[in-house]
Chains A and B, each alone.
Chain A
């Protein structure tokens, strides 16, 4: 059959791979702008479909019904999960999807090693073996680390840092065991048991690495694990001599690293500091709140302040997401704009639980993205702002947080909507709350905003 031989020609398959990663690159490029982002995602998905179909054409690929079973299970789990997840739960969903990717890498590397032992009775050549070992270690760390991140965000596991005495030494010990076993195999030891030891020690390391991390640092962790999974996929690609896998994995490895660095910068911490110093271990001393008093206010006064302001900047935080207040906030903003008030939103890079998480939540509530302003753009405007309305944010507006913040304290008046006087994730007392021009409105963010909205409508 002429057509069949043409389709299964290795060169044809490689050309399809080129098309596939061209789609990835164009897709990522289009993801740069809100207007083209959706198209970009679709193009990347088309690239993925091309890569999968092309791979099925290789003449040594077989067991099609087993492949069908795997894909059917994955589709049956993936589609409903992606369809039903709430926008507020997006970070844990990404963590989970990231985890299964890492898990797949670890499983594939294990099977590849087993098969090599079985077929040849010896270890694979070093240029295969080293990527296999790298994929096994990184994939396993990524799988377990992501699961812990999921558990923490889903509040199955307590969000506060869980730390063992001598944590750093245990982690280093685990890394030594994993790397040592890998070196032993690379040096010629043929042992499936040793390979399992690599997977298990990397798995425990993945757990230990994420458990001590507090909720505030979770965005950095997910981003880092995303990069890890990408790198491990690229390693698997080198082990399997597959260009599409190398390019796809490495693109993600690079993007994840960039994102991680951007976020670490936003929190004023170097990546090295985060890696070595232990995640979430902020050591700023809690201020003494004893002799300071915070002023509380009511919905009617807040409504008055807002309605007669010229310029209002809304600073949302995770509290807004938890209370699902984004729609009510948008209604309030619409009402204010009808009265000629200029409303914009100040988005801190780490507001919410992931970079850009707050943008997604506000977009869900139909807030036009032109109104969403990044920290560096909005800070110079705050001295000319009449009222800064802080909704469920704490660390991102805390002058003592030890990171760049939204300078709401420079605005004429500050109104803070929060549930209680508790400190934020970072556990640092917030001097903003005791300022003369700050007033606090206690209660659930959604109920408070709704009350203010009702009062504004009555004015």
Chain B
């Protein structure tokens, strides 16, 4: 993919992010922070993309750590957000 295409995607994603998020009420700021926090765990993909062609013990070792970190970020993040949101109930 060429650089300009990537920059186009980057800028559009930024605007979508601003638009989608600026309407969230205060009440949901902590869960929102936690959910977006889980989404940046997507960096896990970077570890997956590199490990197949990585050579040498050190690089593979570092990538396994990166994959583990990314997984903690994703799994922990979504789970903890769900626990918070489970508690937002209406009065019966």
Contacts and interface: CB of A to CB of B under 8 A. Distances in A.
Interface residues of B, number: 81
A104 B35 contact: no
Task: Please indicate which of the listed interface residues A44, A69, A94, A241 has the most CB atoms of chain B within 10 Å of its own CB.
Answer: A94
Nearest to A27: B35
Nearest to A146: B37
B46 A70 contact: no
Contact of B27 (A61, A255, A369): A369
Contacts of B43: 101, 104-105, 108, 229, 232-233, 236, 245, 249
A75 B45 CA distance: 16
A19 interface: no
Contact of A230 (B36, B53, B62): B36
B63 A111 contact: yes
Interface stretch (A1-9, A206-214, A359-367, A406-414): A359-367
A293 B25 CA distance: 39
Interface in A226-265: 226, 229-230, 232-234, 236-238, 240-259, 262
Q: How large is the interface on A (under 10, 10 to 19, 20 to 34, 35 or more residues)?
A: 35 or more
Contacts of A222: 33
Task: Please indicate which of the listed interface residues B18, B36, B58, B65 has the most CB atoms of chain A within 10 Å of its own CB.
Answer: B36
A101 B45 contact: no
Contacts of B64: 66, 69-70, 73
B69 A104 contact: yes
Contacts of A242: 45-46, 49
A314 to B, nearest CB: 15
Given A104-B73, A127-B3, A243-B1, A82 B23 contact: no
A-B pairs, top 10 by smallest CB distance, nearest first, are: A74-B71, A254-B17, A70-B67, A62-B52, A356-B29, A355-B29, A78-B76, A250-B13, A82-B79, A248-B42
Interface of A: 21, 24-25, 27-29, 31-35, 37-38, 40-42, 44-45, 48, 51-52, 55-56, 58, 60-63, 66-67, 69-71, 73-75, 77-79, 81-83, 85, 87, 90-91, 93-94, 97-98, 100-101, 103-105, 107-108, 110-112, 114-115, 118, 127, 222-223, 226, 229-230, 232-234, 236-238, 240-259, 262, 347, 349, 354-357, 359-360, 363-364, 366, 368-370, 372, 374
